[in-house]
Each structure stands twice: as structure tokens, then as C-alpha cells.
Structure 1
Amino acid sequence: MVAAQVNLTASAIQPSLTAERCTLRAMRLRDLVQVSAIERHAYAFPWSQENFSDCLTAGYRVRVLDHKGEICGYSVVSLVPGEAHLLNLCISPAWQRRGCGRYLLNDVITAASGSACEAVWLEVRQSNRKALKLYRQMGFDIVGVRKDYYRSSQGPMGRFSQRPASRFKRFSRAPSIGREHAWVLKLQLARAGSFV
């Protein structure tokens, strides 16, 4: 498989950015250390290296955005007849706000279209407003809610469950693990001979 070159130019992303050269390619087993480090930094409940390895073994479309050996971000997509399911998309904090997430998401949509998928589905934490904004800008619609879909270190109303022991002595035990709802989003793709 030939790696696609992308020039994340300032004019295509934000006027204040300098151009960055990146390579979009299939994830390799040797990338798992970097990918797992990004995942652990980005999420309170990250995927393990084994999760990513299983996705590679299962034949999912797993891509990385690479800048001179540094992984900038990655996506994991399950392509099945008729639909694609975006399972994970993450950008390294050092590479956020440079158009990398938009580029990876566009690659997912292009791959889904090329695989005769009619729709791309994903779930996103209700608290992840930046990701939700990107998905909405890219044409995704909120079509439902999955209750208690994600594990969360936050309690009700988005507040952290762990309270300072000095004020709440009876709550001095370890913080509880809660659950967080997810928005279900769908992007309807145009089929051959139809207009969406």
C-alpha cells in the first residue's frame, strides 16, 4: 500500500499556521508504543496496546498521520458492507489545532465512500465539545444517545467524584468510576445514482 502525502498548508487550515509535511499510512505494530502513549495522554480510560493490535489483526482500517517518525494522530475504522464505524480518532496534543483531526476524518469518509458504504457512524462523549464541533462541521448529524456508554471518572453533573478529604472526610476513599453518555452521530454518504 502506498502512503499518501498530505501538505497541511496554512491556507487550508488556519491563516496563522506554517505548513507541515505529514504522511498518512497504515499503522504498523512498531507504532503501538507511540500510539498508546498518545492514547494514555488523551483519555482517562485509554485503549491498550492489545486493543490496537487486535484491530490490526482483525483487518480494521487503522491509519496514522506521521511526521518524520513522530505519530501525530491515528484513526481506527471498521468497514463492513453498507457502513463504516469510526471506533477511535485521536490527535497528539502537540499536533492539535493544525487540521490533523479534520484530515484524518476526511480520510475515513473517503475510505467509506470508496468501500460502497452508505453511512459513517461514531460515538462521542457528550462532554467532548471540540470533537463534536468537528464532526458537526464535517456533516455528521446527532441521531441518538447511548446511555452510560463510556466509563468516566466524573460523577453526576460532570463534577469529579473525588472530593478533598479535608472538607469531606467521609468521602476520603478512592474516587468512584461513573458512566458518561455518548452522542451517536451519523454521516449519510451519497450512493451511486442518488443525491443525499
Structure 2
Amino acid sequence: MQHPLPLQVLPLSAEFVERLASIDREGGEGYWNSEDFTNAMASDFRSSVLVSDGVAIGWSIARKTGGTAHLYNLTIAPAYRGLGLCRFMLDELTCWAHEQNIPCVWLEVRAGNTRAIDIYLRYGFAAVGSRRLYYNRPDGSWEDGILMSCKSRRVQCP
């Protein structure tokens, strides 16, 4: 998918860790901290950073598990939301999955994250189940997770 912003998708590296943790806090989520990103770099996760004009503006973290791919996190900086960047990153992820002969991408999303659920549904994901009280909120309460899946497919790769 072509995008009017100058975009690059780069592997997660140490230079991006603090900026990505800051984006997560800016968005009010605050679930991923610097240590989480550092751990992702040291693992077999596929960690991608979305960069525009040299500035990290989002990321995705996924993993090939068996014959499927699992998207653990996809976040766009608040100032860049609503510009189609989530779709851009989903295209990048499903392109990778297709190239790896992975037939299906899975994810869980917080039931209260209706904006993300809408984006995933419009992209072609389907809700296939739920996980009761799956996510712990910062205030100590819990919320359900919605399990979604989408067939990987050839797209115009970013």
C-alpha cells in the first residue's frame, strides 16, 4: 500500500527502545516499557518499527508460532493515528506471513479497544472467540480479550 507520508519499516533496535516506550505512554496504554522492547529484541519475535522522516511513529511485534503468526502488539503514535498507518503495518505483516507460507495471522485485542477492533474487522480479521478477564488494566481491574484471525494474503507489500 502506498502512503503519502515517507515511511520505512525497520527492525527494532536499541536506538528506538525509549521512543517506543514513550509512544505507549503517550497513547495512555503504558503496557510496554523499555525492558519489554529490549526483551523483544533478544527473542525470536518479529519486531518492526514504523519510521517517518527518521522518527519512530509506531511498531508491531509478531511471532511465528507453529504454522501461524501471532500479532502481539501494533501501536501507532497518537499524533499519527487516523492516517491509515495501522493498515500499512497490517499489510507489511500479512505480506511477511504470506512470504513465510504462514496461512493465518492471529491476535488478541482488549474488548474495550473498539477502535482497534473496528480497524481489524475492516482489514479482514474475524472475531473467533474471547478470553474472559484476559487483560489486566493499570488500575488492577480486568477485561476480556477478543481473539481474531485473518488469512494471510498477497498484498502490495510496503
Q: Displaced runs of 4+ in structure 1, greater than 3 A?
A: none
Q: Give the equivalent residue in structure 2 for 1:183.
A: 146
1:60/1:76 contact within 8 Å kept: yes
In structure 1, what is the equivalent of residue 3 of structure 2?
8
SS in 2 for 1:51: helix
Structure-to-structure mapping, 1:64-79, within 5 angstroms: 64-79=49-64
For 1:133 and 1:186, locate their aligned partners in 2 and report how far apart those are by CA, in whole Å.
14
Unaligned 5+ residue runs, structure 1? 1-5, 10-19, 154-175, 191-196
Alignment of 1:37 onto 2:22: yes
Normalized against structure 1, the TM-score is what?
0.73
Displacement of 1:115: 1.0
C-alpha offsets along residues 111-155 of structure 1, whole Å, 9 cap, x if unaligned?
A: 1111111210000111111111110111101000011111125xx
The letter for the 2-side match of 1:181 is D
Distance of 2:33 and 2:134 partners within structure 1: 18
Is the CA contact (8 Å cut-off) linking 1:7 and 1:22 kept in structure 2? Answer: no
Partner of 1:131: 116
Paired residue for 1:106, among 88, 91, 113?
91
Mapped to 2, the partners of 1:108 and 1:85 lie a distance apart of 10
Contact 1:90 1:101 in 2 (8 A): yes
State the distance in 2 between where 1:107 and 1:7 align: 11
Determine if contact 2:21/2:30 at 8 Å carries over to the other structure.
no
- Identity of matched residues, %: 27
Report the secondary structure of 2:59's partner residue.
strand
TM-score, with normalisation over the residues of structure 2?
0.90
**For 1:141 and 1:62, how far apart are their aligned partners in 2?**
24
Tell me by how many angstroms 1:25 deviates.
1.2
Choose 1 or 2 for highest CA Rg. 1
